[in-house]
Amino acid sequence: MTQSVLIISSLEPLGEPAAEVLREAGTLGLWEMSDRTWRAYFPSESDSIAAALLRLDPELSLRWETQESVDWVQRYQASLRAIPVGRRFVILPSPDLDNPCPGRMTLELVPGMAFGTGEHFTTASCLRNLEALSPVPSSILDLGCGTGILAAAAWKLGARRVLACDIDPEACAVSRETARVNGTPFTVALGSVAVTDARFDCVLANILGQTLVELMPEIGSRVSPGGWLIGSGILLNLGGDVLNAASLQGFRLVQQRTNGEWWTFLWRAE
């Protein structure tokens, strides 16, 4: 039995809009070979799927192939593995997996459509910065929380006032389940930084670089004096814009990390 594979290549990283088109078209599975090359699986070829993608980006390269059908459930189960992240955590994509690192705290993932598995550079580097802060911030805002994995980590590190928020209802639902399965009762709110007017010892903002620039004035008013801001999800070419926006709000750059494609910045509020 065969199925059709749409190979999508882009000059820029593919993102959620393309994934949404593929989901609405009924993709049987999506393999992200890299952030610029995806393979989407369908029962048969469809010109309408290609047309919808090209409306998003006329520069996309699209090619159909035919291959033997894939048992996605079996492939997914076979691919699951524990993911050590930073110095103190291991992420478990399934409750059936054992912790291969007994000295590390576990973070259990909840299956869902929200972003933030912990393996991607942006999430992992946020976690590394967070666990390196001493003393542990007592209050943390996780802005654009995705799966809520960073909020759960903050709670396990010792923070006891943790608010996670996201503009995506699906992300909020997954984050609430993440809080439950990990025994980390952080609060989840639907919305952006405006969901609260409180100040926090640390704000985690793993969001798009342009969004971070736009929200920086509001973020600046949510960080306590002497507090921390960890920003990620920033493409390399937007690093300068984000740094300028942070400087205008009185943030001092303490550390920067990059994998050659994304930035993660750590600032302190002056």
- Where along the chain do its domains lie? 2-75, 116-269
For the chain, what is the largest distance between any 2 Cα atoms, rounded to a whole number of angstroms? Answer: 63
CA distances from residue 158 to 11, 124, 130, 199, 265 in whole angstroms, order as listed: 42, 18, 11, 18, 22
| Predicted local confidence at residue 143, as pLDDT | 97
The Cα 232–Cα 208 span in angstroms is 8
Q: Residue 225: phi, psi to the nearest 5?
A: -55, 130
| Predicted local confidence at residue 20, as pLDDT | 85
Judge whether 2-75 and 116-269 match in fold: no
Strands 37-42 vs 2-9: parallel, antiparallel or unpaired: antiparallel
Contact 14, 35 (CB under 8 A): yes
Cut 0.75: pTM above it: no
| Predicted local confidence at residue 224, as pLDDT | 97
| Predicted local confidence at residue 28, as pLDDT | 81
What residues contact residue 104 under an 8 Å CB cut-off, 6+ apart? 84, 88, 89, 90
CA distances from residue 182 to 20, 106, 152, 170, 176 in whole angstroms, order as listed: 28, 8, 7, 18, 10
Tokens at residue 237, please?
């070419």
| Predicted local confidence at residue 35, as pLDDT | 81
The Cα 270–Cα 266 span in angstroms is 13
pLDDT tens-digit profile, the chain (270 residues): 778 999 999 998 888 788 889 988 988 878 878 888 998 989 889 999 999 999 989 999 999 999 776 665 555 555 667 888 888 999 887 777 777 788 899 999 886 544 555 668 898 999 999 999 999 999 999 999 999 999 999 999 999 999 999 998 989 999 999 999 999 999 999 999 999 999 999 999 999 999 999 999 999 999 999 999 999 999 999 999 999 999 999 999 999 999 998 999 999 998
Please tell us whether the domain made up of 2-75 is placed in CATH 3.30.1360.
no
Contact 70, 3 (CB under 8 A): yes
CATH H-level, domain 116-269: superfamily: Vaccinia Virus protein VP39 (3.40.50.150)
Of 23, 206, 184, the closest CA to residue 110 belongs to: 184
